[in-house]
Amino acid sequence: MGKKTKKIMARPTKETAGVDYRGVSLSNLRLTENGTWSYNFRSRINYRGEQFYIGNFSNAEDAALAYNKKARSLYKEKGAKSRGMWNELN
């Protein structure tokens, strides 16, 4: 009898995880015991050369909403939208 091996899924990327929001990336990637990946979504924004960490979230939509809230406070909503610093969410 041969040795059983676990099939490990490829490491997820922003694209394969379906993240298409500005300021949102994958965070805390961990390989689980069953060979799948576990991760959170990190939200960050740059303003005047400084990077602001907004937080880690369980889904990409919450991270994008938090990004929009911070962008609104830094750029004001109209300014954030005109600079392309905004996520359009349905």
The CATH number of the domain where 53 resides is what? Answer: 3.30.730
| pLDDT < 50 regions, the chain | none
pLDDT at 79 (0 to 100): 77
Give the domain extent around 61.
24-82
Flag whether the pTM goes above 0.85.
no
**Integer Cα distance of 54 and 32 in angstroms:** 26
**Integer Cα distance of 30 and 16 in angstroms:** 16
pLDDT at 4 (0 to 100): 63
**Integer Cα distance of 37 and 33 in angstroms:** 9
- Count CB neighbours of 57 within 10 A: 19
pLDDT at 57 (0 to 100): 95
Report how many domains make up the chain: 1
Tokens of residue 39, six digits: 């991760």
pLDDT at 1 (0 to 100): 55
Contact 60, 24 (CB under 8 A): yes
pLDDT at 63 (0 to 100): 94
Residue 19 within a domain = no
